[in-house]
Each structure stands twice: as C-alpha cells, then as structure tokens.
Amino acid sequence: MAKPLIPRMHLWEIDDQPWFPPFLRAYVQTGLTHAWTTHIPLLQSSSPATLVANTLRRVLGNSVSRHTYIDFCAGAGGPTPFIERALNSQLVRATTSRAVPATASSAVVGGESKASSTGTPSYAAVANPSTKNTVVHDDGGAVDFVLTDLHPHVESWEAAAKKSDHLTYVSSPVDATHAPTHLLRKYAKTNGNDKKGIFRLFNLAFHHFDDDLARAILKDTIETSDGFGIFELQDRSPSGIITCFLFGFFILLIAPLLYWWSPVRLFYIYIVPIVPFVLVFDGIISCLRTRTPEEVELLLRTCGADSDGWVVQSGREQFLWPLGNLSWIICTKRAA
C-alpha cells in the first residue's frame, strides 16, 4: 500500500475522555454500531460487519472453521454479534450445500461462480460473491465468538448473547496485554478433541493504542493466539476524512427513524448536537491515528516476541460508495 501523505498522529478522542458523560458515550457507541451494521441498498453492497465476515472467510479459507474468535476490545459489542451471524450463516449454508448429491457440482467460470442446473448454490457463490477464481471449502459448521474488554459491558453483551448459541462473553475485565491463560485454554477447546485456535478480533480499536501499548498487545497475541484481525472503518486518507463528514450527515438524516422513541437522544442529536459532533470529530481523529499495514507489521516484528512464521495480509473493501473503505489486516501463524 502507498505510504499515506498524512503522518500518523496519536491525538485524543472525546469518547475516550474520563470526563465525557457515560450516557453520551453510550449514544455515540450506538451510533458506531449503526455504522457497522447499516446496509443502504445501492450505496452499499452489504453492511461493513458482513464485509468483515466475508473477508475472514475469504482470507482464512479452510481454517476459518478452526478458530474461536475472541473480540478483545468489544466495547458495547460493536459489530461482533453481526459478524458472528453473517459468518455462521455462511458456514452453515456451506455445510448444508456440501451435503448435496454429486450432481450439484460447481465451477468457477471467468471469475464468476456458476451453480449446476439443479439450482443448488456453489461453494464459491455461498462463500462470497466477490471471491474471484476461488472455491472455498469449509471443514465444519458454525464457529464461536466471545466478547471481552478491559471494561466489560455485561448488560449489552448479555442481550446480544441471548440471540445466539455461538456468542458468549467474559464478565470480568480482560486485558489484551495479558490475556488470562485459563480463558484462552477454555476457548481453545470446544467439544472434546475438537481443538480450536484462538483468533483475536480488534474492531475499530487498534488505532486507540499508542505504540507501546500496541506492541504489548501484539506480543501477548502472538505468544498465545493463532491469528488476529484488525478491522477499521477509516484510514489516513482524504477519502477517509470525507467519509466521517458523510457519516455525521447520515446520522442527522436517519436519526428520526432510529430514535423516534427517545426524545432525549433526539435532543442530543438536533438541539444540542453533541452526538453527531463527537462522531465526526472522533472519526477524523481516528483517521489520523489509524496505522497502515506496514506500520502494524513493523510493530509486530519489534514487539519482543518471535514473529517468525507469522504472515501479514491486508486490504481494503469499499463499504460505502464512492469513498468509504473498510481497511483490514489479518495475521496468521503459518502451520508448522
């Protein structure tokens, strides 16, 4: 990736400040969850959360089913419950389609997957419509997701976990620089011998860490996990900054539909517009704080743990036409 013209600046975000009232923080975080989960037809091919699920599936390939996904900075939940739903529905559909008779064969033709005349979807079609010249096969069914944070949001997580058999949470604080061994052991094993690797998720979180904290988190991650993914809705580009303004405008446009039942929220959106202001201000600061894949890799290679055998992959997926991009970095330990 070309080096951004804008240097990285570790400035502060309003939402991180201890003086920022918790009820306003909750409104801002709900706004961020909307950013992850909204799907506007014509402007978005899918929600960003679904894009993360598609990216995990495409990049991890066969090994996607061999992990438990632990969100180490889940905040109020963010996109993880939606990523879980999107990824598991793909995996379960793929498992079901694998069980169909051999006549339902699939082929990849000119970058597009074609199903047989039986109408059964091909593996590639189920995997990801944008997957080019790749047929993805999975080893198994649904995978488990776990929500954790240094400051657990038990109430929101409990509500999310009730909606899925594959989403759980840890109610005590979990520090991503010192992940408890018992927790990693517990989630590395599911059913008997069905051993899972730990895959850490950092959604809209990694840019919050200064270099020392980021190195400490990466060190702990590569010493105790099998892979990790950093997903950001912004980057250090002019288009990233313009997207933040568009997002503020979008919140102003859509708020009555989302919050007609909450005059207090509408007050803080329209009369004293703190919520859109913080979303745009923090969004721009987040752009300036977001690292390129090369910068993350430099931290990884200098974090003090043995990073030999760790492979870094990265990319950008458009989540909002014409400017909004999801940037992702996926690092995995090469199988011994």
Ligand X SMILES: C[S@@+](CC[C@H](N)C(=O)[O-])C[C@H]1O[C@@H](n2cnc3c(N)ncnc32)[C@H](O)[C@@H]1O
Q: Which of 49, 74, 161, 284 touches ligand X by CB under 6 A? A: 74
> Residue 47 and residue 52: Cα distance in Å, rounded?
9
Q: Which of 4, 48, 75, 293 touches ligand X by CB under 6 A? A: 75
| Preceding peptide of 322 cis, ω within 30° | yes
> Residue 292 and residue 314: Cα distance in Å, rounded?
9
DSSP assigned state of 216: H
* Binding status of residue 214 toward ligand X by CB under 6 A: no
DSSP assigned state of 99: T
One-character DSSP codes across 136-154: ---SSS---EEE--SS--H
What is the amino acid identity at position 13?
Answer: E
> Residue 175 and residue 121: Cα distance in Å, rounded?
42
- Our CB check for ligand X shows the closer of 64 and 279 to be 279
Q: How far is the CB of 221 from ligand X (least distance, A)?
A: 11
Q: How far is the CB of 313 from ligand X (least distance, A)?
A: 21
* Binding status of residue 310 toward ligand X by CB under 6 A: no
Q: How far is the CB of 229 from ligand X (least distance, A)?
A: 12
CB atoms within 10 A of CB 271: 9
Q: Which of 170, 176, 230, 275 touches ligand X by CB under 6 A? A: 176
- Is residue 179 within 8 A of residue 130, CB to CB? The reply is no
Intra-chain end-to-end CA distance of the chain, in Å: 29
Site string for ligand X, 79-118 (x = CB under 6 A): x---------------------------------------
* Binding status of residue 72 toward ligand X by CB under 6 A: yes
Q: How many positions of this chain bind ligand X (CB under 6 A)?
A: 18
* Binding status of residue 177 toward ligand X by CB under 6 A: yes
Stretch that binds ligand X, among 90-98, 169-177, 239-247, 255-263 (CB under 6 A): 169-177
Query: Could you tell me which of 247, 237, 229 has the C-alpha nearest to residue 320?
Result: 247
Q: Which of 8, 25, 186, 208 touches ligand X by CB under 6 A? A: 208
> Restricting to residues 12-41, which ones interact with ligand X according to CB under 6 A?
29, 32
C-alpha dihedral (127, 132, 134, 135), degrees to nearest 10 = 40
> Residue 129 and residue 201: Cα distance in Å, rounded?
23
Stretch that binds ligand X, among 101-109, 183-191, 203-211, 299-307 (CB under 6 A): 203-211
> What are the beta bridge partners of residue 169?
147
Coil, strand or helix: which one is 317?
strand
> Residue 233 and residue 48: Cα distance in Å, rounded?
8
* Binding status of residue 317 toward ligand X by CB under 6 A: no
* Binding status of residue 149 toward ligand X by CB under 6 A: yes
Coil, strand or helix: which one is 129?
coil
Q: Which of 64, 136, 170, 205 touches ligand X by CB under 6 A? A: 205
Q: How far is the CB of 333 from ligand X (least distance, A)?
A: 21
Stretch that binds ligand X, among 43-51, 72-80, 189-197, 321-329 (CB under 6 A): 72-80
Query: Could you tell me which of 188, 148, 185, 141 has the C-alpha nearest to residue 165?
Result: 141
Q: Which of 150, 159, 264, 311 touches ligand X by CB under 6 A? A: 150
Stretch that binds ligand X, among 56-64, 170-178, 262-270, 287-295 (CB under 6 A): 170-178
Q: How far is the CB of 37 from ligand X (least distance, A)?
A: 10
Stretch that binds ligand X, among 17-25, 175-183, 221-229, 270-278 (CB under 6 A): 175-183
- Is residue 143 within 8 A of residue 168, CB to CB? The reply is no
Binding site for ligand X (CB under 6 A): 29, 32, 72-75, 78-79, 149-151, 175-177, 203-205, 208
